[in-house]
């Protein structure tokens, strides 16, 4: 490849078969969740096409300089190995386990890191999110609110963040619900 970069591993990965999953893993690692532009691009064009277009300067290379530089340094194998280290996995829209309801979000995720009972993503669910530094009142309300939904057989699918998210998960578990 005449465009091969010095100190860049992405061409080596492409030679081993960069595919949609590997491109999503790299983009997932490099792009902040919920970014409206990149979410739309990846949803409509596919991760592999966006990844290749970024690396071939198909997008503004000055505006996206930091992202392009980051992509050139990330190994998809390392991203997936890091996720695997925690007995988790990256699921994407190409997986049968992908929860279709997230495609209705204004900025659908590039992927989701899943650990545990994946069937929880396919039942009625609720995400309870908020500050990482809640008051004791906020923590109690998040737990009680989650427990109330868990009692009604809703899964609590909030992220793994500290604060309100963790109190929501604890509330669901106390109520013997799914989280």
Average pLDDT over residues 42-69: 95
Dist CA 27 CA 71 (whole Å)? 7
Please state the pTM of the whole predicted model. Answer: 0.75
Any residues with CB less than 8 A from the CB of 79 and at least 6 apart, and which? 25, 26, 28, 29, 90
The tens digit of pLDDT for each residue in 74-98 reads 999 999 999 999 999 999 998 998 9
Dist CA 117 CA 15 (whole Å)? 35
- The candidate with the shortest Cα–Cα distance to 39, out of 119, 108, 89, is 108
Dist CA 142 CA 157 (whole Å)? 13
Q: What is the pLDDT of residue 81?
A: 96
- Residues 134 and 163: beta-carbon distance below 8 Å: yes
Residues in the chain: 179
- Count of Cβ atoms closer than 10 Å to residue 130 Cβ: 17
- Say which DSSP state 112 is in: E
Q: What is the pLDDT of residue 46?
A: 95
Please tell me whether residue 113 adopts helix, strand or coil conformation: strand
Average pLDDT in the chain: 88
Instruction: Name the helix (H) or strand (E) containing 91.
Output: strand 89-91
Structure tokens given for 119:
């069937």
């Amino acid at each position: 490849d005449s465009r091969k970069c010095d100190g860049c591993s992405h061409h080596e990965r492409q030679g081993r078969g960069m595919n949609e999953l590997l491109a999503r893993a790299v983009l997932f690692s490099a792009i902040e969740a919920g970014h409206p532009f990149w979410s739309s691009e990846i949803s409509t064009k596919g991760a592999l096409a966006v990844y290749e277009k970024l690396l071939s300067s198909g997008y503004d290379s000055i505006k996206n300089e930091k992202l392009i530089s980051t992509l050139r340094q990330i190994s998809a194998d390392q991203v997936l190995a890091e996720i695997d280290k925690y007995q988790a996995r990256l699921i994407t829209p190409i997986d049968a386990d992908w929860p279709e309801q997230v495609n209705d979000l204004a900025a659908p995720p590039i992927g989701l890191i899943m650990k545990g009972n994946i069937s929880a993503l396919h039942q009625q669910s609720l995400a309870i999110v908020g500050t990482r530094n809640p008051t004791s009142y906020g923590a109690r309300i998040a737990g009680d609110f989650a427990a109330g939904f868990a009692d009604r057989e809703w899964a609590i699918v909030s992220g793994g963040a500290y604060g309100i998210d963790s109190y929501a998960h604890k509330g669901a578990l106390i109520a013997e619900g799914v989280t």
